[in-house]
Amino acid sequence: MQRYVEQLLHDIRSPPRNIRPRHPIWYYSHADPDDEVEAEDMAYLEQFYTGQEEPVSVITGIDQFLLPPDDKLTDEQKGILAIELENLLEVCHFKLDFPESYPNHLRYVIMRKFWSKKRVAMSFGTTHITLCDYDRSACPFPDYCEICDEIEMQTKCDEEQAEGIQQESDLDYSKLLPTPEEVEEWFKKNFPDKFND
């Protein structure tokens, strides 16, 4: 298997065969690709309004069937392949959003599945692929996912804040306002000449 992995690494590291020319929308818009905001806007337009989805294997030029099942590889082989596949995806303008501490050999398993997905090929920018659906019970990164922790903390904070607002709304504000008698007394005291007429 090691010889096969070495050949596969050679293929992955070869210059991509499917580099996309800049989409015509870039020429018509006169957007400056060096302007981060304009580039992000144009990449969004290219992806969501003008792009056609195709398999990631076609976009990258590496067929999914060439990627060995993870049970046929050592952790070291999976780790090396994961790094190289991530580099290839970056060249093709994709970024899989893994937790920073997620080990490379575990990334390979997810990346191999991603190879069967369909996406829009981009000529510029970066398409971030969110892998976590923010449900801790179905999180693909158990014990590594900072996003689930952040969502859980934010949800708890939101619930506490909503609870505080509910308690505040239960207050009887009518006791804060002066009674008609108190208003009349105040007028008599502050404007005695007008009140006596």
Number of domains in the chain: 2
Confidence band of 186 (pLDDT split at 50, 70, 90): confident
Q: 14 by DSSP, 3-state: which? A: coil
What token pair was written down for 95? 């970024």
The 3-state DSSP composition of the chain as helix, strand, coil percent (nearest 5) reads: 60, 5, 35
Q: Which of 82, 100, 131 is the last residue of a domain?
A: 131
Residue 22 lies in a domain: yes
Q: Which of 96, 131, 166 is the last residue of a domain?
A: 131
Domain interval for residue 174: 151-195
Q: Could you tell me if 46 and 85 lie in one domain?
A: yes
pTM exceeds 0.75 for this model: no
Distance CA 59, CA 18 (A): 6
Q: What is the pLDDT of residues 129-174, one digit of tens each?
A: 888 777 777 778 888 877 777 777 888 888 878 776 666 566 666 6
Query: Higher pLDDT residue, 41 or 157?
Result: 157
User: Mean pLDDT throughout 90-103?
Assistant: 90
Q: What is the pLDDT of residues 56-96, one digit of tens each?
A: 998 899 999 999 999 999 999 999 999 999 999 998 888 99
Residue 138 lies in a domain: no
Q: Could you tell me if 41 and 74 lie in one domain?
A: yes
Q: Could you tell me if 78 and 126 lie in one domain?
A: yes
Nearest in space to 60 (alpha carbons), one of 136, 118, 137 = 118
Q: 130 by DSSP, 3-state: which? A: strand
Q: Could you tell me if 76 and 168 lie in one domain?
A: no
Q: Could you tell me if 176 and 93 lie in one domain?
A: no
